[in-house]
Amino acid sequence: MKIKIIILTLFTILYSYDSYISFYGSGEKLSKLNPSNISLGWSKLFDSNTNHYIGSLSSLFKSNKVRLSMASDFNFNSINDNLYFNQKINYFSALFPIKNNKTTLGFSLSPLYRINTNITENEFSFIEGNEDNPPYAYKTEYDFEGGPSIASMMISTKGYEDNNYEALIGVQINYIFGSLYSNVKHSVFDIVYDENGSFLPANEINDYYTGISSYSGLGFEMQFSISNNKHQLITSFNIFDEIDINFSYYDDTVPEQLELGINPDEENTYKFSSPFEINLGYAYKIKQNRKIIMEYYNYSPYDSNSDFNLFNNSDLNKDRISLGFYTTLLDNKLSMSTGLYFIKTYNDELDSNRNGLTFGLGVYTIPNFSIDLCLELGQNEIEYNEPLSEKYFNLYLGITAADTWFK
């Protein structure tokens, strides 16, 4: 077991330091899913790793072993023929059986949102002059880095069982924390006109400041499952309390004429009202080692303060439909899975339609050790100011080490 823990730790360190962890310039919400979930069309309720039961909150207790898991992904994107690559750690979790192995207690850590991007305004903004100040023009450049993370405590147990039915319960408490750094550069120009009356920027003066947004908040998730020999129904609800965002400046260099509605000498706290997530899932057992799954997911977003809409997607709705199939082979030492999904993300200004295929392979030939791999192919058609077309090819790798620590 010590060797496996060392391997797992080295894997985490190597990829943490070399990670383009925040390619998501729009601040897209990240999902802490194992490849065994993703391979079923991004299912949150079902996973194909039936050796260690790491992907479904209500089923975590089904293994009587301590499990340490982590997952990483490698993303290749083409957006309007521009190529991008990034790699990031999705999550780390530790699961511990308790109460005569009938209940499992777990802990996990993962990024919730990440922004790492540079945005430069293409057009000048103009400020009219007055008796004391001449008119001027300016542009603004933004560098964002960081974002909130989420730490979770989970408990999973069997609620009821008889000869025909089994009822399972999973509960998770989430704590949101972390910071986003905003480096802002204001370039101010005198207004000069050429002989044709066209504007020419002149005498550039740059002002810089750095803001920090600190997050704190609590959330709660509950999952219920009921099943018999052939059918399984699962539902889960995820509710967050108000998320506090404390915003402050590192220094006071913002020109008075460029006030943002925020006093740079003070800390300012904003509240995002609760988002709400719901999942509904159904699985049908074709044979003892084969299942098909169907799942619906809806995300109703934060209602953010209109003066401080930190994420472009803080007011986005999301719907997802997932379909998947998996089978186990070689006496449960190998699993194969596939899935497809349809995701619609939208608000009054943006409409995104993302569709994709997933293919998964689970290898469980080494005792107390599992490797889950997933390949994802998809495209995303986005309508936002102008049409964007994204094609992507993603690889996901998950590792789980397990052992019997308590008897």
**pLDDT (0 to 100) of residue 371:** 92
For 43-52, 268-277, 305-314, which range has the lowest pLDDT when averaged over its residues? 305-314
Phi, psi angle pair for 315, to nearest 5°: -115, 30
Query: What's the start-to-end Cα distance of the chain, in Å?
Result: 16
At which residue do the structure tokens 């939208």 appear? 346
Output the CA torsion 75→313→36→43 (10° steps). -140
Rounded CA-CA distance 179/254 in Å is: 21
- Domain membership of residue 373 (yes or no) is no
Calculate mean pLDDT across residues 96-113.
Answer: 86
Residue 254 near residue 264 (C-beta atoms within 8 A): yes
Instruction: Quote the number of domains for the chain.
Output: 1
Residue 261 lies in a domain: yes
Instruction: Tell me how far CA of residue 324 lies from CA of 44, 145, 394, in angstroms.
Output: 12, 35, 18
Instruction: State yes or no: pLDDT of 169 exceeds 90.
Output: yes
Strand 231-240 relative to strand 276-287: parallel, antiparallel, unpaired? antiparallel
Q: How far apart are CA 135 and CA 153, in angstroms?
A: 56
Question: What confidence category does residue 199 fall into, taking pLDDT thresholds of 50, 70 and 90?
Answer: low
Cα 110 from Cα 37, distance rounded (Å): 16
**How far is the C-alpha of 378 from the C-alpha of 111, rounded, in Å?**
23
Residue 116 banded pLDDT, cuts 50, 70, 90: low
Question: 31: left (phi > 0), else alpha (psi -120 to 50), else beta?
Answer: beta
Report the alpha-carbon distance of residue 322 to residue 334 in Å, rounded: 23
Query: In this predicted structure, what is the pLDDT of residue 311?
Result: 39
Q: Identify the residue with better confidence: 319 or 318.
A: 319
**Banded pLDDT at 368 (limits 50, 70, 90):** confident
Structure tokens that stand for 239 in this block: 């509710």
In a domain, 62, yes or no: yes
Indicate whether 4 pLDDT > 90: no
Q: Which of 176, 175, 257, 245 shows the shortest CA–CA distance to 211?
A: 245
CB environment 82-96: b (16+ within 10 A), e (fewer): eeeebebbbbbbebe
Q: List the CATH number of the domain containing 364.
A: 2.40.160
Mean pLDDT of 119-145: 73
How much is the average pLDDT of 64-69? 89
Asked if residue 146 lies in contact with residue 180, where contact means CB atoms within 8 angstroms, the answer is yes
Rounded to whole angstroms, the Cα distance separating 396 from 34 reads 8
β partners of residue 87: 74
Structure tokens at 145: 């880095």
Q: Is 244 contained in some domain? A: yes
- Residue 213 phi/psi, 5° resolution? -110, 120
pTM comes to 0.78
Q: Domain span at residue 284?
A: 2-368+378-403
- b/e per residue 263-300 (b: at least 16 CB within 10 A): ebeeebebebebbebebebbbeeeeeeebbbbbebebe
* % pLDDT > 70, the chain: 75
- DSSP label at residue 28: P
Q: Does residue 119 surpass a pLDDT of 80?
A: no
Choose the most confident range, by mean pLDDT, from 112-116, 205-209, 402-406. Answer: 402-406
In a domain, 70, yes or no: yes
Q: Is the pLDDT of residue 268 over 90?
A: no
Task: Kindly state the average pLDDT of the residues 286-298.
Answer: 93
Token pair for 340: 């497809």
Cα-Cα-Cα-Cα torsion 31, 144, 147, 358, nearest 10 degrees, comes to: 10
Q: For the residues 384-395, what does the mean pLDDT come to?
A: 82
| Most confident of the following: 10-19, 152-161, 188-197 | 152-161
Please tell me the distance from the alpha carbon of residue 88 to that of residue 71, in angstroms, as a whole number: 9
CA 49, CA 52: separation in Å to the nearest integer? 6
Position 117 in a domain:
yes
User: Which residues fall within 8 angstroms of residue 184, CB to CB, at 6 or more apart?
Assistant: 140, 141, 142, 143, 208, 209, 210, 211
The count of C-alpha atoms lying within 13 angstroms of the C-alpha of 136, restricted to the half-sphere facing its C-beta, is 18
Closest Cα partner for 368 from 98, 2, 108, 34?
Answer: 2
Q: Considering only 114-128, 298-312, 392-406, which range has the smallest mean pLDDT?
A: 298-312
Mean pLDDT (the chain) is 78
Q: Average of pLDDT values for 376-388?
A: 83
User: Among 74-83, 150-159, 245-254, 390-399, which is the least confidently predicted range?
Assistant: 245-254
- Number of C-beta neighbours around residue 137 at 10 A: 19
